[in-house]
Structure 1
Amino acid sequence: MEFKKFSIGNVTLYQGDALAVLSSLTEQSIGAVITDPPYASSGASALTKAIAPSKKYVQSGQKKSYPEFQGENRDQRSFCFWSTLWASECYRIAKDGAPICVFSDWRQLPTTTDYLQAGGFTFNGIVPWDKTESTRPAKGRFRAQAEYIVWGFKGRCVTEKNPVYLAGSVRARVNPKEKLHMTGKPIAVMDHIIKIVPPGETVIDPFMGSGSTGVSAINAGLSFTGIEASPEYFALAKERLIEAYKAYTEEGA
């Protein structure tokens, strides 16, 4: 399967299918995996699974529109099998001791902890992301106020490479004015997660979306490799990461 490639400095971006791109990358070449894959979690039937992401994740009355994205319509078994495939490829290209952090919602949390381990990684824990009370209230039940970062390593953590002490949770609201993707994560959240990456390493995000992982990686002085299937989101992320890279290099000049 063909894919496009763009590079600027230590930032490399691919527009194409994640599995196709990952399978082309060199073994033991990546220092960390940080990604927010499609959750494929809304809806319990084939009919509701087929609904477009914009119908699942965009609140009614919201004026801002976003491009659709792929991978949301898999059933539970195919989601787990597909996720194991890309996690296995990430394991192959990751260096020994490389951390992995994968976002999930509450529905797919058990499956995410499973496919992470099925892909070969050691499962070390879960970081809750508290989206604050700004999330939509739910009458008679609890707010869906949290998402989760499932994390681990390829093998064991080599603490000498990155002797940091990180908080086990993060609290940050979603600001609609800053969002460039309908499920985009705040930079404040990504800045916290990126701290697990040892200095000088390359971070890969196989589901780059609007490039938030890349922005945090660049600002932390890390190399970044991003993959995105959607041409619309790839173009958006490319422009955003070019700006971030130029701003970072100009500040360091």
Structure 2
Amino acid sequence: MTTPVTIGNATLHLGDCREILPTLPKVDAVITDPPYGIGRAGQSGMRGAKRGRINTRTEHEDLGWDHDRPTQGVIDMMVSAGKVAVIWGGNYLADFLPAESKWLVWDKGQSINQADGELAWTNVGGAMRIIRINRCEIGQDADHWRGPSFHPTQKPVRLMDWCIAQAGNPQTILDPFMGSGTTGVACMNLGRNFIGIEREPKYFDIACRRIEDAQRQQRMFA
């Protein structure tokens, strides 16, 4: 566990969420996309799952995320860390989560060899809500040097904007599986406080840069 990096209203931790979560104060909302413990394209047993739903067995395989499904203890820490919780892949983690009424659905707007959509578990009451965002929109969040995405399971920034609204527009948001920082970018766009945790230095560095860039853009337009 290292000293956290502070970038404006974002505090970013490089390390394991199992060690860092118990040290943090309770936040308004936890919005996160943890590893699901499934295979590529949802086929159990194949390499490359969560962080790993990728088209080739190349740069991401060494991370071993196919085997890193959160334990019951990690799920419990995440849910209790915020007044509200939004957990993507909740259908794959349902044996660890209580039954709740409101699910969020991302309709990816394309039917290809991967899943047509993804589900997020929430502990917010209400009816299921669906948003349709073409998965190609992720490319609009990337830059020329990195190609179509920063991370193999990256979510569109607009999807995370929507999650924040569905969580009741909380002021301080925590993402224990920050990845390349998309939840943090959404928080910067909306003027929210963000706490992120990421254990892979490569993605931590990308998240720092993206969040700093997002804050810079907000200052320019402000």
TM-score past 0.5 threshold? yes
Matches within 5 A, 1:1-253: 2-26=1-25, 29-42=26-39, 44-45=44-45, 48=46, 51-53=47-49, 57-60=53-56, 69-74=63-68, 79=69, 82-94=70-82, 98-104=83-89, 109=91, 111-117=92-98, 123-133=100-110, 135-137=111-113, 144-153=115-124, 168-175=129-136, 177=139, 178=142, 179-199=149-169, 201-252=171-222
Q: Could you tell me which amino acid in structure 2 is paired with residue 71 of structure 1?
A: W
Question: CA 1:35/1:70 → structure 2, altered by over 3 Å: closer, same or farther?
Answer: farther
User: Alpha carbon RMSD of aligned pairs, Å?
Assistant: 2.9
Q: Which runs of no fewer than 5 residues in structure 1 stay unpaired?
A: 138-142, 158-164
1:91-128: CA deviations, max 9, x gaps?
4432xxx2211111xxx61x4233233xxxx7232122
Whether contact under 8 Å (1:54, 1:66) holds in the other structure is no
Q: Could you tell me which amino acid in structure 1 is paired with residue 183 of structure 2?
A: T
Separation in structure 1 between the aligned mates of residue 51 and residue 178 of structure 2, nearest angstrom: 21
Separation in structure 1 between the aligned mates of residue 127 and residue 6 of structure 2, nearest angstrom: 31
The CA deviation at 1:9 is 2.0
Identity of aligned residues (%): 26
Whether contact under 8 Å (2:48, 2:61) holds in the other structure is no
Larger radius of gyration: 1
The CA deviation at 1:56 is 5.1
Separation in structure 2 between the aligned mates of residue 239 and residue 166 of structure 1, nearest angstrom: 36
The CA deviation at 1:83 is 3.4
1:51-76: CA deviations, max 9, x gaps?
3459952225x9x96686453214xx
Provide TM-score, normalisation by structure 1: 0.72
Separation in structure 2 between the aligned mates of residue 127 and residue 39 of structure 1, nearest angstrom: 16
Separation in structure 1 between the aligned mates of residue 50 and residue 72 of structure 2, nearest angstrom: 26
